[in-house]
């Protein structure tokens, strides 16, 4: 089972990528969209939200789907959260990958933190717009 951290600020870019590459049998977990739908603003609701996201991951695993996880880059993004996700997923034998839409992050610190720790991923794909 593959788990992808997708670095994109625009969900449409990922959807276009999935369509062009004919990616089927996937589960997309868009954190920004989920936060908006559930209206999670207070810290006391964050644990419930994390449980909901984890249950979606387990559901994708049971249905034998690749999971594409889109972090919320609008809020405070922390690379350490990615490492925590990896530790949890190791128990379920997920292959931990990263997909980066480079042009959206070339001037951000998010990318430098990730590139400095690229070895924690099983596979990396960096996409440059033309």
CATH of the domain at 58: 3.40.50
| Tally of domains within the chain | 1
pLDDT of residue 28: 94
Tell me the C-alpha distance between 122 and 130, whole Å.
26
Give the model confidence (pLDDT) of 39-61 as tens digits.
766 666 777 778 888 889 989 88
DSSP-based three-state secondary structure for 4? strand
Q: How confident is the model at residue 114 (pLDDT cuts 50, 70, 90)?
A: confident
Q: How many CB atoms lie within 10 A of CB 70?
A: 22
Give the model confidence (pLDDT) of 11-45 as tens digits.
899 999 999 999 988 999 998 888 878 776 666 67
**Structural domain span for residue 86:** 2-127
């Amino acid at each position: 089972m593959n788990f992808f951290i997708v670095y994109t600020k625009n969900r449409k870019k990922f959807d276009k990528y999935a369509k062009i590459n004919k990616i089927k049998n996937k589960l997309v977990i868009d954190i920004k969209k989920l936060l908006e739908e559930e209206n999670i603003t207070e810290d006391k609701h964050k644990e419930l939200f994390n449980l909901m996201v984890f249950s979606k991951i387990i559901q994708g695993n049971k249905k034998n789907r690749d999971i594409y996880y889109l972090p919320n880059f609008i809020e405070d993004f922390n690379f350490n959260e990615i490492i925590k996700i990896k530790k949890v997923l190791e128990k379920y034998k997920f292959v931990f990958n990263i997909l980066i839409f480079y042009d959206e992050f070339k001037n951000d610190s998010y990318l430098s933190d990730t590139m400095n720790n690229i070895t924690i991923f099983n596979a990396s794909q960096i996409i440059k717009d033309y």
